[in-house]
Chain A
Amino acid sequence: MEHHAEHVPTIASLLWPAVNFTIFVTLLVRWLSGPLREFFRARGERLRDELAAGDRARRDAEALRAQLARDLADLPALRERIQTDLKATAERERDQLLAQARRSAERIRNDARLLAEQEVAAARRMLRDEVVAAAVREASELVRRAARPPDHERFVQEFIRAAGAPS
């Protein structure tokens, strides 16, 4: 039976590891404490932001839901309003079209009346001119046939009197 001598650590043998460990811990604290703090701070902040965003999203969703609920509740009234608006618009359009059609009809009537009046006036003028021309032709022939020397004498005397009279 093998017997191993029992090894008892001494203070000295423990001192160096303890010093090494202390230096190791000091260096760890010295070099890693800042980044670790910053990492946890940033992580905490990110978590807070995400929680706030989630909260906002939740509130928006609730507001949207409430709005949708209101809109759904308001749908019959909205439908009624749209129907009323459409009806009013259609009536306005109809009235405008009717007014426009009336104006067009009035204009056409006026144009036609004016044209007819012009035609009548032109025909009347033409007829009157023809009648006057025929009357002058007849009168000329009548005077030509009926005029005798005493008439010609009278014409000359009348001319001499008229032309010689002071104007």
Chain B
Amino acid sequence: MTGGLGRRYAKALIGLARQEGALATAGEDLLRAAATFTEPDLRSLVLNPGIGAAARRGIVGQIVERLALSPIVGNLIRLLADRDRIDVLPDVGRAYQTLVDRELRRARVSVRSAAALTPAQLAELETLARRLTAAEHVIVSAGVDPDLIGGVTLAAGGTVYDGSVKTQLARLADQMARAGS
């Protein structure tokens, strides 16, 4: 429901950020602000209907100043607070990232491995991810997951490339089960 609304705000923000040449900075500020305003205590305070509009605007303004956000992101957050729409901020952040990634031909890739990866392996996986996503740049987030037993999984966009031993064993079990039936 709020996805479409978040995308509209994100499109407006990306236009402004492009003019100021601050696509990346605005994205980082937006993510920081979204993380801050989704804190349960702050969220319940900002969304409390018992707090008047002026008081809410004051609270939001102080937080924006404290976070030292860029003017365009600060203005967007004040606008959302005025319209009582601060809850769509995480959606705006996600939509903005998607739009910026598309504009910069950039892909976000999540790599999980059973054992920690060496820098050389990470570089090889980054190259692989660039080829798989056809993006010029990839942002790789790596993590260790011992449940995988061995091997790697690589998630890019909506696709997961699974080379884990856990999945191979599961596939083997499935084949064994189907072979007997």
Contact = CB atoms under 8 A, between A and B. Distances in A.
Interface residues of A, number: 25
Interface in B162-181: 163, 165-166, 169-170, 172-173, 176-177, 180-181
A133 interface: yes
Contact of A136 (B125, B163, B173): B173
Interface in A149-167: 149, 151-153, 155-156, 158-160, 162-164
B151 A155 contact: yes
A156 B177 contact: no
Contacts of A152: 113-115, 150
Contact of A151 (B150, B163, B170): B150
Interface string A137-149: 0011001100101
A160 B124 contact: yes
Contacts of B121: 153, 156
Nearest to B125: A160
Interface on chain B toward A: helix, strand, loop, or mixed SS? helix
Interface on chain A toward B: helix, strand, loop, or mixed SS? helix
B45 interface: no
A163 B177 contact: no
Interface residues of B, number: 28
A102 interface: no
A147 B172 contact: no
A159 to B, nearest CB: 3
Interface in B92-130: 113-115, 117, 121, 124-125, 128
> Which 9 A-B residue pairs are closest in the complex by CB-CB distance?
A159-B163, A155-B151, A152-B115, A155-B150, A136-B173, A163-B161, A128-B180, A132-B173, A159-B152
12 contacts: A124-B180, A129-B177, A135-B173, A140-B166, A143-B150, A147-B114, A147-B150, A149-B115, A152-B113, A152-B114, A158-B151, A163-B132
